[in-house]
Amino acid sequence: MLQLAPAAPACGHTTCTDTAVVHWTRLPTAGELANVPADQQADAVVLVYACGTHAIGLEAAALVHHSTCSGPNAAALPACDCTPVQPPQPAALDLTTLASGWQIAN
Ligand SMILES: [Zn+2]
Ligand SMILES: [Zn+2]
């Protein structure tokens, strides 16, 4: 039986056609944000793909890049041309500790 797998995403560098092996996130552009439901716009991000050659540094990849970031951009590697920011931290849970020691979310 022939099984067809979905194509792996390609590297986002403008002149590269290699298969991506890493990804990071950036904020959506205004045009991309227009396609996101209103209640999800606040934490919407876009995945950016790169091959091993065009991957940005691991520390930069852990951050959220600006919508105008040109990465992966060979001229700027291993960095990029924006100042990425920390991803939003999940809100702390409001917990109650039961007599048995369990903690449950309120
Ligand atoms: Zn590439
Ligand atoms: Zn960037």
pLDDT reported for residue 2:
79
Q: 19-66: per-residue pLDDT in tens?
A: 999 999 999 999 999 999 999 998 899 999 999 999 999 999 999 999
Please tell me whether residue 70 adopts helix, strand or coil conformation. Answer: coil
Q: Which ligand is nearest to the CA of 78?
A: 2
First to last CA, the chain: 51
Q: Is the CA virtual torsion 33, 15, 72, 55 positive or negative?
A: positive
Pairing type for strands 22-26 and 46-50 reads antiparallel
pLDDT given at position 34? 94
Residue, of 40 and 4, whose pLDDT is higher? 40
User: Ligand 1 centre from 37 Cα, in Å?
Assistant: 31
Q: From ligand 2's centre to the CA of 66, what distance in Å?
A: 6
- What are the residue boundaries of the structural domains of the chain, listed by start? 22-105
Q: Could you count the other beta carbons within 10 Å of the beta carbon of residue 93?
A: 9
pLDDT, mean of residues 78-106: 90
Q: What is the pLDDT of residue 102?
A: 95
Q: Is the pLDDT of residue 92 over 90?
A: no
Q: What is the average pLDDT value for the chain, to the nearest integer?
A: 92
